[in-house]
A and B are shown apart, each in its own frame.
Chain A
Amino acid sequence: MEQVLRVEGLKASYGGQEVLHGVNLTVQRGEKVVIMGPSGSGKSTLLKCIVHLIKPKSGRIILDGEDLSDGGVDLKKVRAKTGFVFQQYNLFPHMNVLRNLTLPLEVVKKVPRSEAEARALQLLKAFGLEEFAYKYPLQLSGGQQQRVAIARALIMDPVLLLLDEPTSALDPELRREVLETLVDIAKQGRSMLIVTHELDFAEAAADRILLMDKGVIVEEGEPWELLYRPKSEMARRFLVEIRAVVHHKPKS
């Protein structure tokens, strides 16, 4: 199988402190990989490093056949090939939903306005968001904003979709609509790398789970393996904690 992402010995600092101490990982084309780990373990930094939103200190990142550590590589082109979904949605608040989707197509991919709008409306329709096309982001609920943000990432037809805790900022009742959207996308065969604590989602959609702690990957495996037969003590403790949190949440 072809690799869409390969990370080797990645080290990175954040705020003067080294938070990634040599991370290795691969994502095959079409594979869904979930990254879990306690807060502060470096998951979010890892994701941002992959598209150089945070500059890594050392190590290699090969994305869709291009080596990003090679100085001559055009980061803008690499980023246009990946979709990034942030925890806080980060839509552009001064543009309506439709414009949020068409702007990157027009600016980055030079798609003409009319074609960009047609594609955006089609995608919004597929997401059940077409009634919000002319609304502004801050007029929507958090779940709706996050789904628009996912649509904005997808409209660029990325070879790899990176999601950084896409449901963490949402109330429990809004998580489900976002997770359902993500499961749909996962079924369409797109390569995805997702940082999340949603165990049900990981079990339903992931091909593989990586567990991070203190800046390294401590364990990896298929969902059933990692979630029900964890090998390391760290993984066992983490899962107990996270399940306790989940069970205290009101059922939605």
Chain B
Amino acid sequence: MNESFFFIASLLPELVKGLQITLEISLVSFILGLGLAVILLPLRIYAPLPFSTLSRGYVELFRGTPLLVQLLLIYFGLPSLGLKLDAYTACVIAISLNSAAYQSEILRSAVKSIPEMQFLAAESLGFSTLQTYRHVILPQTLRTAIPALVNEMVTLVKESSLASVLGVVELTRRGEYLVAYTFRALEVYVAVALIYLAACTILSQAARGLEKKLRIPGYEKGVV
């Protein structure tokens, strides 16, 4: 038992290198996904029919197919259309596009919690639709959505393990290498799992702090 403990400890430096790549992929994909979701959201709530249907179709497409299939399509499928991407880029693109679909759904339900009168108040001051979205609706939506967005970020940390399938040497792939060297699958994968657990726990905690910090002052004591 003691021996296993020291063995797992000795793996850590190697696995932490993998964790860096894991966090990098998930964070970059999260930010790109959020950016895309912020653009998709007004199309869903304001834009006339063809646009809103298109953006809904996008969401359905990425939520209705497995992320692994999306990864394989982009990495192995696109080259036959003449677009060849390295594994890392393909992963980031696939995960970003996938996450954008989920994040735009998160934002859409957060928008619903904003009173209709906020739109009217901005309109009554002479704001355009875009100005209303940018200054009044989006900042409140993002605040409301923080818990759900962090959930999504945590999900991405875990889902990015699929990148190992394309050969990106992130945390899971590094674990696979170590198993190949040491033949000690149990200890290695326990170590990998613990690192994922630690990373996700820290993220959730940090998010709680962020949520508190960004909470609208005075919100606790009453209704909007």
Over the window 207-218 of chain B, the binary record of Cβ atoms lying under 8 Å from chain A Cβ atoms (1 yes, 0 no) is 000000000111
Interface members, chain A 138-155 (any B CB < 8 Å) = 138-140, 152
Complex contacts, B122 vs chain A, CB 8 Å: 92
Question: Which A residues have a C-beta under 8 Å from some C-beta of B?
Answer: 48, 51, 53, 76-82, 84, 86, 88, 90-94, 103-104, 107-108, 135-140, 152, 156
Report the separation of the CA atoms of residues A81 and B221 in the bound assembly, to the nearest whole angstrom: 35
Contact of B131 with A86 in the complex, beta carbons under 8 Å: no
Interface members, chain B 102-140 (any A CB < 8 Å) = 115, 117-118, 120-128, 131, 135-136, 139-140
Complex contacts, B180 vs chain A, CB 8 Å: none
Report the separation of the CA atoms of residues A137 and B125 in the bound assembly, to the nearest whole angstrom: 17
The A/B interface has a contact count, at CB < 8 Å, of 77
Report the separation of the CA atoms of residues A108 and B131 in the bound assembly, to the nearest whole angstrom: 9
Contact of A93 with B127 in the complex, beta carbons under 8 Å: no
- Rounded to whole Å, the gap between the CB of A107 and the closest CB of chain B is 5
Contacts A79-B125, A138-B218; A92 near B136 (Cβ below 8 A): yes
Contact of B217 with A53 in the complex, beta carbons under 8 Å: no
Report the separation of the CA atoms of residues A76 and B124 in the bound assembly, to the nearest whole angstrom: 8
Contacts A76-B128, A94-B140; A53 near B123 (Cβ below 8 A): yes
Report the separation of the CA atoms of residues A249 and B135 in the bound assembly, to the nearest whole angstrom: 40
Contact of B124 with A93 in the complex, beta carbons under 8 Å: no
Pick the contact of B126 from A77, A137, A139, A140 — CB < 8 Å?
Answer: A77
Q: At the interface, yes or no: B224 with Cβ under 8 Å from chain A?
A: yes
- Rounded to whole Å, the gap between the CB of A89 and the closest CB of chain B is 9
Contact of A76 with B126 in the complex, beta carbons under 8 Å: yes
Contact of A139 with B217 in the complex, beta carbons under 8 Å: yes
Interface residues on B, range: 20 to 34
Closest 10 CB pairs between A and B? A138-B218, A80-B126, A139-B218, A90-B121, A84-B124, A136-B217, A108-B126, A104-B125, A79-B126, A76-B126
Report the separation of the CA atoms of residues A136 and B222 in the bound assembly, to the nearest whole angstrom: 13
Contact of A152 with B120 in the complex, beta carbons under 8 Å: no
Q: At the interface, yes or no: B44 with Cβ under 8 Å from chain A?
A: no
Contact of B224 with A93 in the complex, beta carbons under 8 Å: yes
Complex contacts, B121 vs chain A, CB 8 Å: 84, 86, 90-92
Q: At the interface, yes or no: B56 with Cβ under 8 Å from chain A?
A: no
Contact of A107 with B117 in the complex, beta carbons under 8 Å: no
Contact of A138 with B120 in the complex, beta carbons under 8 Å: no
Report the separation of the CA atoms of residues A103 and B118 in the bound assembly, to the nearest whole angstrom: 14
- Rounded to whole Å, the gap between the CB of A106 and the closest CB of chain B is 9
Q: List 10 A-B contacts (CB under 8 A).
A: A51-B124, A76-B127, A80-B125, A82-B124, A90-B115, A107-B127, A107-B135, A138-B218, A138-B224, A152-B125
Pick the contact of B139 from A80, A94, A136, A137 — CB < 8 Å?
Answer: A94
Complex contacts, A53 vs chain B, CB 8 Å: 120, 123-124
Contact of A93 with B120 in the complex, beta carbons under 8 Å: no
Complex contacts, B125 vs chain A, CB 8 Å: 79-80, 84, 104, 108, 152, 156
Report the separation of the CA atoms of residues A43 and B192 in the bound assembly, to the nearest whole angstrom: 66
Report the separation of the CA atoms of residues A90 and B127 in the bound assembly, to the nearest whole angstrom: 15
Report the separation of the CA atoms of residues A138 and B216 in the bound assembly, to the nearest whole angstrom: 8
Complex contacts, B224 vs chain A, CB 8 Å: 93, 138
Report the separation of the CA atoms of residues A80 and B131 in the bound assembly, to the nearest whole angstrom: 13
Complex contacts, A81 vs chain B, CB 8 Å: 126
Report the separation of the CA atoms of residues A76 and B120 in the bound assembly, to the nearest whole angstrom: 12
User: With A78-B126, A93-B216 given, can you name 11 additional A-B contacts, CB distance below 8 Å?
Assistant: A76-B126, A79-B125, A84-B124, A86-B120, A90-B115, A92-B118, A92-B135, A93-B224, A104-B126, A104-B127, A138-B218
Contacts A53-B124, A76-B128, A90-B120; A136 near B136 (Cβ below 8 A): no
